[in-house]
Amino acid sequence: MASGTEYERVFQTIEERSPDKAAVIRQYQRVARAFNEMLEAIDAKTDGAAWKKDGVGSCRVSPHLFETYLDGVVTGDIERLWDAKDADNPDLDESDNRRCQFHRIGTGCILGDLKSPRCLSHIDGNNVTEIETKLGTKLPEIKQPLLTIQLGGMDVTGEGCVLHPDLNDKLVEDTVQSATEFTAKVRELPTIS
């Protein structure tokens, strides 16, 4: 077993067991990372986000306990990676038990590029309205690309189910490009107050 973090050990186990599943997770992470950067840029330009008022915002419940829109061949693996990140980043401030187990006061969500589609798409509506009005364009779709990637380009027409993560390459590229372009537009805006 590899040395390093619990996250690294869990990911290595997934990769050894199924390189195709590891490839799907890497695609998911790439898109989630682009969305996360977009949402951080939005937060930097707005002041209406609930988490800025109380340090928690909408991160009240663990994604283990609600419909996350993790629904595909890597659901269990992504959840194991969540728990590994939790083990690698112990919560030193347990004074506020109203928040998600992955939310750290002063830091925010530790899941980063493994946030669920629901967590990523659950953004403060006031922030979205501010940004969309300023830019005159809609926020890129968040849930659907992540849902599609989780299917792993699965071919169910033959015998059994065969993963083909390469069938998602164009979707991943297009989605990352869309989120990156939106992020660049947001970063050019003055701070909205």
* Domain residue extents for the chain: 6-188
Q: What is residue 11's predicted lDDT score, i.e. its pLDDT? A: 97
Instruction: Give the CA distances from residue 186 to residues 44, 129, 140, 178, in Å, rounded to whole numbers and listed in that order.
Output: 9, 13, 12, 12
Among 147, 152, 117, residue whose Cα is nearest residue 39: 117
Q: What is the pLDDT of residue 1?
A: 43
How would you classify residue 7: left for phi > 0, otherwise alpha for psi between -120 and 50, otherwise beta? alpha
At 97 the pLDDT is: 67
What per-residue confidence (pLDDT) applies to 22?
96
Write out the two tokens for 135: 């830019």
Strand pairing class (108-109; 103-104): antiparallel
pLDDT for residue 49: 59
| pTM confidence score | 0.85
**The pLDDT value given to residue 161:** 65
Task: Pick out the chain residues at pLDDT < 70.
Answer: 1-3, 47-62, 64-68, 94-98, 122-127, 154-162, 192-193
